[in-house]
A and B are shown apart, each in its own frame.
Chain A
Amino acid sequence: MEYSEQEFIANLKAEESREKAFKILVETYQQRLYWHIRKIVITHDDTDDILQNVYMKVWKNIDNFREDSSLFTWLFRIATNESLSHLQRQKKHSIISMNEVNEFLVESIETDVYFEGDEIEKKFQLALLQLPNKQRIVFNMKYFDEMKYEEISAILSTSVGALKASYHFAVKKIEAFLKEDK
């Protein structure tokens, strides 16, 4: 972006420059947000739907953005919350438990035409799905997206210490799952 973040947010809030600034916002973050959401909800169709919801929320609520955090943090926070709400809705719409929702995600990986990983990668993804959803998000953000704990902390509103512990336990669980499954 050519502008400073403050200028860019001002452009997003001003009616005459909103469309142009929004276009830049979409182009800049769509891929990062997409992959962040995709790793949480697994299927492409759900990801597409959630990603659109995220940008719709930004479009409607940009005037209410208080700039307490960076635009990046705000976008990722919305995306994470939307994804978790989606998983929650899946749970509500069925009589199955949250673990079984994860079983549904496991099934999605096995049948997804947009998953082209080999057996080892599939096993790794299945290991991730054994984790509680929030722990899985922490692991994804740290391991795949290589985000700093401070950044994750701002997005998930969780202390750095708690995130470190969460990531540590996630690693141990994945290791155990992969060893057990060998």
Chain B
Amino acid sequence: MNKKDENSKNLFEGIKDGNPFRVPDNYFETFEERLNARIKKDETYINYQRTLLFYLKPILASAAVLILGLLILNIPYSKFIPIEKESIVKLNSIREKGDYEFEIPQVLILDFSEQQFLSDLETIRNLDLKFIKQEHLVDYITNSYSEYEILATN
């Protein structure tokens, strides 16, 4: 330590001019090898990410365009994703009138419309209930409306 600053000359008497720290055996000899292994691992991971992105990009872009299109055209997503209807309906007031087969109007309702629902109810009221089986009515209503929708009209 012969080039030390003036202030530190003979400053720390008794302290060896050596390095008190040491490294594990062969540390510097093997450092390059370990570094190269880490660089390769890192590059493999980056390549994997790039490949994944390469394949995902067109899919993500198509999905984005589709969603954008739907938003612009104002098409509800329920057209594509079926909504499970609740099947809990209380129909105590409907009495079984007979065992005759009856063809229930097959109105496919995907989007709830209060007007449509009331119109269906009116149709049912006008039917001769003696020709309708109770379970057919229950099936029809539970398949066409959710509990929420039925409650909403009351």
Bound together, the chains give a CA A31 to CA B8 distance in angstroms of: 25
A121 and B11 contacting across the interface, CB-CB below 8 Å: no
Residues of chain B lying within 8 A (CB to CB) of residue A31: 28
| Complex interface: stretch among B18-26, B48-56, B121-129 | B18-26
Contact between B7 and A44, CB atoms less than 8 A apart = no
CB atoms of B23 and A142 under 8 A apart: no
| Contact in complex: B19, A52 (CB < 8 Å) | no
- Is A30 within 8 A of B15, CB to CB? no
- CB of A146 within 8 Å of the partner chain: yes
Contact A122 B11 (CB under 8 A): no
A38 to B5, CA, bound (A): 22
Instruction: Return the CB mask of B24-44 against A: 1 if under 8 Å, else 0.
Output: 100110011011001100100
CB-CB nearest in chain B for A119: B14
| CA gap between A143 and B109 in the complex, in Å | 85
Q: Kindly provide the distance from the CB of B137 to the nearest chain A CB, expressed in whole angstroms.
A: 66
Interface membership of B12, Cβ < 8 A: yes
Chain B nearest CB from A170 CB (Å) reads 9
In-complex Cβ contact of B4 among A30, A116, A146 (8 A): A146
Within 8 A of B (CB), among A152-177: 167-168, 171, 174-175
Chain B positions within 8 Å of A116 at CB level: 20-22
| B5:A167 contact, CB within 8 angstroms | yes
B21 touches A52 (CB 8 A): no
Distance between Cα atoms of A31 and B1 in the complex (Å): 19
Assess whether B16 is interfacial by the CB under 8 Å rule: yes
CB distance A114 to B7 under 8 Å? Answer: no
A117 interface residue (CB < 8 Å to B)? yes
Give the contacts of A21-62 with B (CB-CB under 8 A): 23, 26-27, 30-31, 34-35, 38-39, 44, 48, 51-52, 55-56, 59
3 closest A-B pairs (Cβ-Cβ)?
Answer: A117-B20, A121-B20, A171-B7
Q: What are 8 residue pairs bridging A and B, where the CB atoms are less than 8 Å apart in the complex? A: A27-B32, A55-B35, A56-B38, A116-B20, A117-B20, A122-B20, A146-B1, A171-B11
